[in-house]
């Protein structure tokens, strides 16, 4: 949703944290980002500052609900959530959108999860979620474009299977991110992986 005034609260904090992350990327990653049409931190702040989200009652968020942080105890055991180092207090919608970004699912499954989520939480935690979920989705697409490009340029964690899978589809990630930002992706070809990690 377009915003006429600077956004504060959780959304303002979240977008500032993303822009600050971009500011702190290594020079080689920032150069690679510029070559591919991804903006620097200042431009990113201005673009993301155009949007607002509804203020919802804040709750405890995990911040990294990916499949590797969900552990089931045996075939009949309950589901345990581990690795809380990215936990924060904030908008409950963000945790769900980030989870669905980190663990892609079919459209019907996403629809069912949003429906159950919105019915199980108090009204103050879900008000306006339908129009705000796309804004958080854009943020996660943008974040992935920078994170994966940094892994490619620095060679960090490329031997981890889920990281390697993300890197293998980087052009799709970049297209989604530049589209979310309303920018045109520059055609530079696929980023090159460090030689020892190239597919044989």
70: three-class secondary structure by DSSP: strand
Query: What is the pLDDT at residue 134?
Result: 95
Half-sphere exposure of 63 (CA within 13 A, CB side): 11
For residue 197, the model assigns a pLDDT of 42
Distance of CA 86 to the CA centre of its chain: 13
Residue 196's pLDDT is 40
Q: How far is CA 153 from the centre of its chain?
A: 19
The CATH H-level (homologous superfamily) assignment of domain 56-127 is Aminoglycoside phosphotransferase (APH), C-terminal lobe (3.90.1200.10)
pLDDT given at position 67? 81
| Cα 127 to Cα 45, 61, 124, 132, distances in angstroms | 25, 17, 6, 10
Specify the pLDDT at position 199.
43
Are the C-beta atoms of 100 and 110 separated by less than 8 Å? yes
Q: What number of other Cβ atoms are within 10 A of residue 153's Cβ? A: 21
DSSP category for residue 97: H
pLDDT in tens, the chain (200 residues): 556 554 579 999 999 999 999 999 999 999 999 999 999 999 999 999 999 899 999 999 999 988 888 888 777 778 889 999 999 999 999 999 999 998 878 999 999 999 999 999 999 999 999 999 999 999 999 999 999 999 988 887 777 767 777 778 899 999 999 999 988 766 555 455 454 444 43
Q: How far apart are alpha carbons 49 and 43 in whole angstroms?
A: 10
Which DSSP letter does residue 52 get? -
- Calpha distance 36→184 (Å, rounded): 9
Are 36 and 174 in contact by the 8 Å Cβ rule? The answer is yes
The domain spans of the chain are 56-127
The pTM score is 0.84
Half-sphere exposure (Cβ direction) of 125: Cα atoms closer than 13 Å: 18
């Amino acid at each position: 949703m377009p915003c006429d005034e600077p956004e504060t609260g959780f959304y303002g904090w979240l977008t500032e944290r993303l822009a600050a992350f971009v500011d702190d990327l290594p020079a080689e990653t920032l150069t690679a980002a510029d070559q591919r049409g991804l903006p620097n931190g200042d431009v990113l702040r201005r673009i993301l500052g155009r949007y607002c989200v509804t203020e919802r009652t804040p709750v405890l968020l995990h911040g990294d609900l990916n499949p590797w942080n969900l552990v089931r105890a045996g075939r009949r055991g309950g589901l345990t959530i581990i690795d809380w180092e990215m936990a924060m207090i904030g908008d409950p919608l963000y945790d769900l959108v980030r989870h669905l970004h980190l663990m892609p699912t079919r459209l019907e499954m996403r629809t069912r999860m949003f429906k159950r989520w919105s019915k199980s939480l108090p009204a103050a935690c879900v008000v306006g979620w339908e129009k705000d979920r796309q804004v958080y989705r854009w943020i996660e697409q943008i974040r992935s474009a920078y994170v994966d490009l940094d892994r490619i340029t620095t060679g960090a964690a490329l031997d981890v299977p889920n990281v390697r899978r993300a890197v293998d589809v980087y052009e799709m990630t970049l297209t989604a991110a530049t589209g979310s930002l309303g920018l045109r992706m520059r055609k530079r070809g696929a980023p090159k992986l460090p030689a020892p990690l190239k597919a044989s």
